[in-house]
Amino acid sequence: MSATPHKNRVARRILATAAGLATVGAMVAALPAGADDRGKPAGHHPGRTVDVQLLSFNDLHGNLEPPAGSSGQVTRTKPDGTTEKVDAGGVEYLATHLRTARQGNPYSVTAAAGDMIGASPLMSGLFHDEPTVEALNKLRLDVSSVGNHEFDEGARELARVQDGGCHPTGGCFEEGKTFPGAAFPYLAANVTNEKTGRPILDPYFIWERKGVRIGFIGVTLEGTPNIVTAEGVKGLKFGDEVETIDKYTKVLERKGVKSIVALIHEGGAPASSSYNYDCDSPGAGDGISGPVVDIAKRLNPQVDALVTGHTHQAYVCTVPDPSGKPRMVTSAASYGKLYTDTTLTYDRRTKDIVRTSVESANHVVSRDVPKAADMTSLIQRWNALAAPIANRPQGFISADINGRGSSEYEKPLGDLITDAQLAGLAPADKGGAQIALMNPGGIRSDLVYKASGAEGDGVVTYGEAFTVQPFTNMMNVVDLTGAQLIAALQQQVSGSNEASPKILQVSRGFTYTLDMTKAGAARVVADSVRLNGAPIDPAKSYRVAMNEFLAGGGDGFPALAQGKNKLVGASDLDVFNAYLAANSSAAAPIAPPKADRITVVK
């Protein structure tokens, strides 16, 4: 497949999905098999090598406008060792940075590692992320893996995102225009139809320019069904990342493609939050942990580089492959705040990447460059369509209330959201809730005091509230025993969540101690769990409010799926907005909560 995806959509087709999609066409056409051996070249060979520029990013989540507050900042370590926060992001600036980076690089390919859409601010989310796909087309994105959020609306909608067409219920959002779909291939090598066993999208993409060929294999994390609503992944099977990439590496090799990049929507956690932290100090990959490290250590040595995502962290590391050789593993934080520039030296004789020559660095999408005019126009166009809904005032705050931008386990915005859920669902006819729980991953932004438009400082608009909670999950109230509640708290820091804890946000009156000096479930001090000062009784039943995703056991909380006597309430966003309206005014705005419900021992 050539590097001009706009002209080559015919070469990409969605395969049959469990959602009932028809099979339409074939995958990337086969390339001639190469006769070269599989050995890696030992060094750079001037005259027969070409430097390929790989630009990459991940987890954009429809953030076309600069993310607000701390969600729109990255941390930089200065030469003297101190750190500073830098404002970053916004597709008008991302476009300028990428276009500038490409200048003077005839061999340049742009790739993404998933979650381009889903959990998006209102301007994109209201229109089922058509604005974001349009922006990515204009950015000249060549290829992306799917991420878990690409499945938020199910396989059928993902197929529409790829191939185009108007939304089945929303219709065409702009008069006289039909959504063209993504001009780049979404890759889903490890997502198969349960009935046919075939990938629901292309598993790989071959980028070609003047005889240089690089294969891209795209996967999402195997655990996607645990973090997406059941409806979104119905009829789909998610395979092991390493096994899948190894399988398609062999397929690409048979087609004569020996330069291979894996796009993996799974990630790691560097020891520092600074984007320019050296995670190879003191040794290769020593400063990074998490699932992607295990993947990188097991993945076929023929894969030359890993572009990763999901954890919203920034890192450029070399992790040893199974043969012990260093291999580049990168991630560019989230929300378009960074992009990664990697140099892949391609040897025309071996058709492979000279691994010893691979260089990479993350760059800030700073806001001190000219805005890309085509992106400004795109944002203005879609904002005009969203404005009647987006600009409605919902309530008032006295200062920034940090959610996504907070690095603490308990977030001030988490306290506010759970208090809103408790207030909305405590009345007997609304469920009789005594406690409310919120998954931290469902909080997508901060509430920022500074006005985003003409509404005035401290005014929370519908668009801003939607950006915080974009999933429109219905609220559930269920009976859980005290023992089940404590088990759920233990699941925050054990099982699938042990390596990367998911600390639930809790409503007022619910308190406990989290001892992070211990391991696994023992981190939750069981006899410290209290409701309004009284110890939780393991045998007693409590009414607990949470969104339907958590109530289904999502995010690794099977204990929460054991709830009985379920009552379904309003959506999380409606409950939140109702609380803002009832509990704030211009004269008496809501102040940031103290975030003092969970005592953390470190």
Q: Could you read off the pLDDT of 405-426 as tens digits, one per residue? A: 999 999 999 999 999 999 999 9
Neighbours of 37 (CB within 10 A): 9
* Residue type for position 517: T
Q: Could you read off the pLDDT of 500-555 as tens digits, one per residue? A: 999 999 999 999 999 999 999 999 999 999 999 999 999 999 999 999 999 999 99
Q: Could you read off the pLDDT of 79-132 as tens digits, one per residue? A: 999 999 999 999 999 999 999 999 999 999 999 999 999 999 999 999 999 999
What's this model's pTM, rounded to 2 decimal places? 0.90
Bridge partners of 314, per DSSP, are 332
- First vs last Cα of the chain: how many Å apart? 52
Find the mean pLDDT for residues 148-175.
96
> Three-class SS of residue 160?
helix
Q: In the chain, pLDDT over 70 holds for what percent of residues?
A: 92
- The reported pLDDT for the residue numbered 291 is 95
| pLDDT confidence band for 220 (50 / 70 / 90) | very high
Residue 572 has pLDDT above 80, yes or no: yes
Find the mean pLDDT for residues 351-358.
94
Q: Which tops the pLDDT comparison, 52 or 229? A: 52
Q: Could you read off the pLDDT of 18-61 as tens digits, one per residue? A: 333 333 233 333 333 333 333 334 445 667 999 999 999 999 99
Find the mean pLDDT for residues 343-361.
96
Place of tokens 């790691």: 268
Q: Which helix (H) or strand (E) holds 303?
A: strand 303-308
d(CA 2, CA 189): 20
Residue 246 has pLDDT above 60, yes or no: yes
Residue 75 has pLDDT above 80, yes or no: yes
- The reported pLDDT for the residue numbered 219 is 98
Mean pLDDT of the chain: 92
Q: Could you read off the pLDDT of 584-602 as tens digits, one per residue? A: 999 999 999 999 999 999 9
Residue 9 has pLDDT above 70, yes or no: no
Find the mean pLDDT for residues 189-207.
97
d(CA 189, CA 197): 11
| pLDDT confidence band for 472 (50 / 70 / 90) | confident
Lowest mean pLDDT among 7-11, 45-49, 211-215, 454-458: 7-11
Bridge partners of 511, per DSSP, are 530
Are 189 and 221 in contact, with CB atoms under 8 Å apart?
Answer: no
- The reported pLDDT for the residue numbered 42 is 43
Are 336 and 352 in contact, with CB atoms under 8 Å apart?
Answer: no
d(CA 439, CA 437): 7
- The reported pLDDT for the residue numbered 277 is 96
Q: Could you read off the pLDDT of 329-350 as tens digits, one per residue? A: 999 999 999 999 999 999 999 9
Find the mean pLDDT for residues 285-312.
97
d(CA 332, CA 60): 10
Residue 198 has pLDDT above 70, yes or no: yes
